Structures are given as C-alpha cells and as structure tokens.
Structure 1
Amino acid sequence: MGQMLRGCNMSGIEPRASDYYILDDLLNSEERSLRKIVREVMEKEAAPIMVEYWEKAEFPFHIIPKLSSLHVVGGIIKGYGCPGLSMTATAISVIEMARVDASLSSFIVAHSPLAMLTIAKFGSETQKQKYLPSLAQLDTIACWALTEPGYGNDASSLKATATKVNGGWILNGQKRWVGNSTFADVFVLFARNTSTSQINCFIIKKGAPGLRATKIENKVALRIVQNGDILLKNVFVPDEDWMPGVNSFQETNEILAHARVMVASQAVGLSMGVFDACNRYLKERKQFGAPLAAFQINQEKLARMLGNIQGMILVGWRLCKLYESGKMTPGQASLGKAWTSKIARETVSLGRELLGGNGILTDFLVGKAFCDLESIFSYEGSYDVNSLITGREITGIASFKPPLFDKASRL
C-alpha cells in the first residue's frame, strides 16, 4: 500500500475521476490537446521526483527543458517566441501542472504570468525583443519582486526607492517572498520613484552590484519553490531597463488580476490531484474486511470533494471567458482566487482525513498537497484582502484600512 502513491506518481489514475462534469466539453480542440500533453509530461517527468525535491527543499533544474518543451511559457503573450495561448489554455496548463505538483506550477506562474507579462504589457519594444524570447524558452529565468518585509497585502505602500541619476536609476530597499529569486537571471522589480512618489518598475540583471538574494529557509509549503529575500543596496539600473509603462500601482493591479486567475487554477489542479489520489486509495486499501470506498462516510466525503472541485472548475472557466472577452473586473478575479483557494482548503483537508495516518506522509500526494495549499491560500492576496477588493467593487466603499487613530492610541 505504501508504494501506491509513493513519489506522487499519478499514472494509472482515471483521467476524468475528478473532472466529473467533463471540462473537456467546454474546451476547443487545441485546449484539449494541450491539456493532454501537459498532463502526460507532468505524470512522466515530474511526478516520480517531486517528493524527493520537496523533502530536500531544492529545485529540480534538470526538468526545465521538459517544461520548455510544453510551449506554454509566455501564456497569452503573442509574438517574441511566446505561444499566444488563450487565457483558458493558459489556465488549463497551470491546472495540469498543479495537479501533479503545486511548486512547479508556482515556478511557472512567477516566471510567466507575473514577470513576463509585465514586460509584455508595460515594457518598451526594445525590452520585449531583448528579454521575452529567451524567457519563453526558459533559457533564462525571471522573478517578480513586489512584496516587501513590511508590505504584503498592502503592497501599494512599498518602501523600496528608485532615485533618478545620470544615465539611470539607483535602487535601495528590500523585497521578500520572491519566488525563483535565488537563481533568476532577470528581476522584474517594483520601487517608488523618489521624485514623483509613484511606483515604477525596473528590470535588473543577475549579478548587478549591490543586488543580493538569499533563500528563505524552513518553509512547510511549496518547498521546491526557491523564495528569497532581496536586498538592494545602491543598485544601478540603466535607463534602458526602466519600464516605461508602469507609473502607478494601477498597472501592477492589472498583472495581479491576471495572476489571481492563475492562482485559482493552481487551487483547482491541486484539489483534482488530491481527489484522484484519494479515490484510488479508498478503492485499494481495505479495513474491516472491505475497501475503504465501501463505507458511507468515506463516500460522502468523496462526493463533497468532487462537488467542490466541479464548482471551482466552472468558476475558473468562467473567469477565463470573462478575461478573453475583456469583461473581467479586478473584483471578479479576486473573488475567484479567494473562493477557490478557500474551497480547495476544505477539499484537501477532507482528503487528508480520508488517508488517515498516511495523510501526513510526504510519500503520498495528499500530505504534500495539504501543506502546499496553505501557501496558495495566502499569496497573490490573502482570502480577506481579496474579499475586500470584491467588496469594494460591489459596494463602492473601500474598507481596507481601519479608522485613523492618533499617535497616543498606538502606544
């Protein structure tokens, strides 16, 4: 029994077990084909090694060429060597990655829908031609640096500074929780312009003097992802690497809205993987002379998980269609991310219960996914803050900050 799911190998699991309402019927032929390709590569190449690297908290660099071969990096970006996929196809690729391993899907989300899309939307034509082709092939790796030690959900208050000097800019400050940053070749980094007080964006190359990225240790989620603390000490960025299209936090919000759809897709994929693993496990493991799947309470939990997943899939699919038609609002993206990650949390928790003691072993997909989901629940805006973004949109009232209070009340 211990070998059944060891190494998170999903091969042999019914391909539609968790796709009860048949998502394929909502996809076009190209999207269905891409789904199959990504699933096959992830099951063959990623599934057998993920537990080993998760335990070591190391990144499997040898798998990067396999990810590149999927031709999904760059997602919706057209030209510059990028695939120009539909939003739906991009989300499907993330779902199938996260179904096997959430860390690898996070690696791609940081690199592509965050860093690459920022360059594609707001970079100069020269920057697009210079950076996007190699990033699309994963010949170079990017990270996206917004969050700071004191500013997570309140990212618009960031304190890193950019001061204009002859021929470029001097950047100072700190960033935290930046995925891929310990080995990234390109840093897409946000800082506050000291002259205008507005947020600008810069492209910084690996090895720039004064730039240091150190790994955040002792994580219990997404351990394969190399999150880093970034220190900027008088880092010079030439004018050619200042991104002309970012002059406020509004542009950053555009990228975040897109990314939240991708994070919702991660929650969907991770939940699907857990359900499929549990479904197989309960059929094979016997207690009291019968398969665990024969017990009513276990069937009820499986059905609840399955219902959760179908709702998540349909919300995610609808978000993609809204995006493709130009109708998706920030509040819709935020609600999608908040709701799916909350429902995924319940779903994965039920799966952990169903596996009993084996549910806390990383040898089994469920225990690892249970931990990884905690990170997905929190990043790209917590459940609470994303709910408030939606609340602001439907009421017209912003409720992010508590009432003002005087200095004496702080003491």
Structure 2
Amino acid sequence: MEAVATSDFYGFTDLLSEAERSALSRLRGLLQEYVRPVLDEYWERGEFPEQIVAPLVDAQLMEPAEVLQAGERPTGLYAGFRNFELGRMDASVATFYNAQSGLFRTTVNLGGSPEQVAQLEPQITSFTYKGVFALTEPEHGSDIAGGLATSAKREQRDGEDGWLINGAKRWIGGAGQADVLAVFARDEADSQVKCFLVPTNAPGVKISKIPGKTSLRIMQNADIELSGVWVSASARLEKINSFADVAACLRNMRSDVAWIATGVCFGAYESARDYVAKRSQFGKPLGSFQLVQEKLAHMLSNATASLAMVVRLTQQQEAGIYRDENSAMAKMFTARMLRETAALAREVCGGNGILLENSVARHHADAEAIYSYEGTHEINSLIIGRAITGVSAFR
C-alpha cells in the first residue's frame, strides 16, 4: 500500500516563496538527521537531548540564508511554517525553539525600547543570548492578570538605580538552558505589571526542574524562586507598563502555539497513516479497511482546517490586524483538533499506538500539554465569548 506523498491537500505551502520552501525543506532534513534518531530515548528518559541544539542554532532558522540570499525577508507565514515543521517532528523540540524565537523574542521586540531591541535582536536570533518567558506562577495560571504575585520594588544599590524582585514562577520551559528570564512582576508603587530581564545566575535565583511529567517530557519545565533578586534599571523592558502590554505579547504568542498545535496534529495523522500502510491484519493492510480510512479522513480534515485557520490568522497579523479573539480562537480550535486527532491516531494503531517507536504515543501525550498552555480551552472560549456578546464572563 502506497500513501499519498503530501498531506497539504489544499496547497497552503504554495503561499510561501520558493526560497522559504527551500529553507523549510532544509529544516525537515535537519530534523530527520539530528532529531528523530534520539527522540524516543530522551522522551523515555525525560531529558533534553542537548546535542540537537547546535544543529538547530547553526541552521539560522530565524534568518534563513535561502531567504536572505533571494533578497527577501522571512514572512510571518514562513515563521508559522517553521513552527509547524518543528511541531510535526516533536512538540517538545518545537516548544524549546519557540521559547527563544517566539516567546522571548516577541517579549523583547514588543516590550523593549528601540535601543533595547536593536541591541538584543541580533543576539536573540543567533542564540548567543538565550531567554525564556516567565509569567505563570505556582498559584496563578489562568488568573494571572489579576493574581500575579511576584513583586518589584525600586531600590538603589551602590548609587545605582534598580529593582528588587521577589516571588516565584512555575512551568517555565527551558529556564535551565537560558541566560536570562523575562520575569513579569507587579510594581509595588503602582500595582502595574512590569517585565525585567533577570540573569539566571543572579544571586537569589533558584531554578529547579519539575519532575514526573507525562507530557512534553523532553522539554524541561522549571520552578523558579526569586528571593531578593536585584537588577539594574536597564534590565526593565521599557514598553511593558501594565498587563494590557503583557496581553499584547500573548496575542502574538497564541498564534505561535496554534502553529505548533497544527504541526503536531499533522505529525500524529502522518504517523498513523504510515503505520496503517505497513501493518496488516486479516491478511490485508490496515489502511484498506473502511473504518480506518474514515478515521484517516477525519484526522486529515481536522489538521487541514487547523492549517487554514492559522494561515489566515497570520495573514491578518501581517496586515496589522491583531485581535485577542482571533488568536484565542486559533489556539482553542487547533488544540482541540490536535487532541481529537492524536486520540484517533492512537486508536488506529491499536496497542502499538502506545509504543514510542511509532511516534503516535509522543504526539498523543504531548497533545494534553498543548491543550492547556498559552491559555486553556475555557479561558480562550471566554475571550471569544466576550467578543461575541460584548459582555465579559471573567470573574
């Protein structure tokens, strides 16, 4: 039984330039060569394969040579498909890369002054300055807007103006590999949320790996304690002065996560498709059975609908249209389609669907984390509901 070569039935990749498609093809090859061979071992160990970092960094995926040599700049669609390709291989790897290329880079670009952006952008794209986004707290996730408890207080030391930060963060992916934490804290003077670039080796910073995860096992999430941490005034990102400014960052970041969810959705579908093409039961390939084909059609439809949504969302954002409800809808829908598709993929693989060697098991487990982070299904639903009715149901 021979499967169809492409999953992109509607030709969404045709919207990319030839140079962008070439860069993405190089990324696929890199992932197959360096990442795929080590995934199962490190997923089972619950450790990050550090040997994949250098190939990913050296590939210069944020500023790909193919695109620059063609006299182009990477578009938002290229960045989306980059996350898509990473997610199609593995959600943890995509989350690791997006922690730098999406979460941290967006925070600096939107929250920093022109001088801060000009200084840090080249270091961020080259990974010579590695950062992570530190917002969620042990007691505050969905209610972080009003509940954020980490505090910041203006304080001088040795004649230098700065800030004293105290608090805790949780679920911070990649913190142990970072040079700096983009820490969101509430200013004691005005109760507004500000953002500070806190070095991970600063006195008073303690980073601990969260053990026992059953999802995103390769991605190292951390608990962070901030006890009397002092940073200079220059460490504050000058354009983040309220939670409304944080929300502007999240509006961008949700689109990144929606792209990752879509990539993982395709990864689950393709893994199942490949399995049923080679596995036989009752003397026939599994893929020849009607019920299996119906599930494959259902999975691909979910994945294609998700891809259509994130492509259109990105086109709107490139045109300057940023709406909370649009990014919330994309994250909510793609995560739900991923969850359903991963379950169907596991189902058509039968008992072998829980084995790492078939890839479906990783996607199935990782779908649960993606369903919850960067805004739960319920929170995103309420953002959309507020836009529909004009009435906020948040309490």
Considering the TM-score relative to the shorter chain, is it more than 0.5? yes
Distance 1:295 1:161 in 2: 59
Q: Identity over the aligned pairs, expressed in percent? A: 37
Q: Report the 3-state secondary structure (helix = DSSP H, G, I; strand = E; otherwise coil) of the residue aligned with 1:317.
A: helix
Distance 2:303 2:162 in 1: 49
* TM-score normalised by L of structure 2: 0.93
Q: Report the 3-state secondary structure (helix = DSSP H, G, I; strand = E; otherwise coil) of the residue aligned with 2:59.
A: coil
Match of 2:367 in 1: 373
Aligned-residue offset at 1:135: 2.3
Q: How does 1:217-366 map to 2 (within 5 A)?
A: 217-366=211-360
CA separation of 1:13/1:36 partners in 2, compared to 1, >3 Å: closer, same or farther? farther
Match of 1:206 in 2: 200
Q: Report the 3-state secondary structure (helix = DSSP H, G, I; strand = E; otherwise coil) of the residue aligned with 2:225.
A: strand
Distance 2:3 2:63 in 1: 30
CA separation of 1:198/1:357 partners in 2, compared to 1, >3 Å: closer, same or farther? same
- Give per-residue Cα distances to partners, 1:184-217, cap 9 Å, x unaligned: 1111110000001000000011210001110000
Paired residues, number: 383
For 2:336, the aligned partner's letter is: K
Distance 1:115 1:219 in 2: 23
Match of 1:160 in 2: 150
Match of 2:11 in 1: 22
Distance 2:324 2:391 in 1: 15
Task: Kindly report the root-mean-square deviation, in angstroms, between the aligned alpha carbons of the 2 structures.
Answer: 1.8
Distance 2:139 2:257 in 1: 23
For 1:101, the aligned partner's letter is: D
Which of 147, 162, 170 is 2:164 aligned to?
A: 170
Greater Cα shift, 309-318 or 61-70: 61-70
- Contact 2:208-2:223 within 8 A present in 1 as well: yes
Q: Report the 3-state secondary structure (helix = DSSP H, G, I; strand = E; otherwise coil) of the residue aligned with 2:177.
A: coil
Match of 2:110 in 1: 121
Task: Answer yes or no: is 1:55 the counterpart of 2:49.
Answer: no
Which of 135, 145, 152 is 2:134 aligned to?
A: 145
- Contact 2:62-2:125 within 8 A present in 1 as well: yes
Structure 2 unaligned runs (5+)?
A: none
Structure 1 unaligned runs (5+)?
A: 1-11, 402-411
CA separation of 1:192/1:15 partners in 2, compared to 1, >3 Å: closer, same or farther? farther
Which of 375, 381, 388 is 2:382 aligned to?
A: 388
Distance 1:387 1:133 in 2: 37
Q: Report the 3-state secondary structure (helix = DSSP H, G, I; strand = E; otherwise coil) of the residue aligned with 1:243.
A: coil
For 1:317, the aligned partner's letter is: V
Q: How does 1:98-137 map to 2 (within 5 A)?
A: 98-137=87-126
Q: Report the 3-state secondary structure (helix = DSSP H, G, I; strand = E; otherwise coil) of the residue aligned with 1:385.
A: helix
- Contact 1:72-1:85 within 8 A present in 2 as well: no
Distance 1:57 1:198 in 2: 37
For 1:55, the aligned partner's letter is: E
Q: Report the 3-state secondary structure (helix = DSSP H, G, I; strand = E; otherwise coil) of the residue aligned with 2:43.
A: helix
For 2:271, the aligned partner's letter is: A
Structure with higher helix content: 2
Give runs of ≥4 in structure 1 deviating > 6 Å.
none
Q: How does 1:182-197 map to 2 (within 5 A)?
A: 182-197=176-191
Aligned-residue offset at 1:19: 1.7
Aligned-residue offset at 1:155: 1.4
For 1:23, the aligned partner's letter is: F
For 1:230, the aligned partner's letter is: I
Aligned-residue offset at 1:37: 1.9
- Contact 1:192-1:198 within 8 A present in 2 as well: yes
Q: How does 1:73-88 map to 2 (within 5 A)?
A: 73=62, 85-88=74-77
Aligned-residue offset at 1:361: 1.2
Distance 1:371 1:126 in 2: 42
Q: How does 1:29-48 map to 2 (within 5 A)?
A: 29-48=18-37
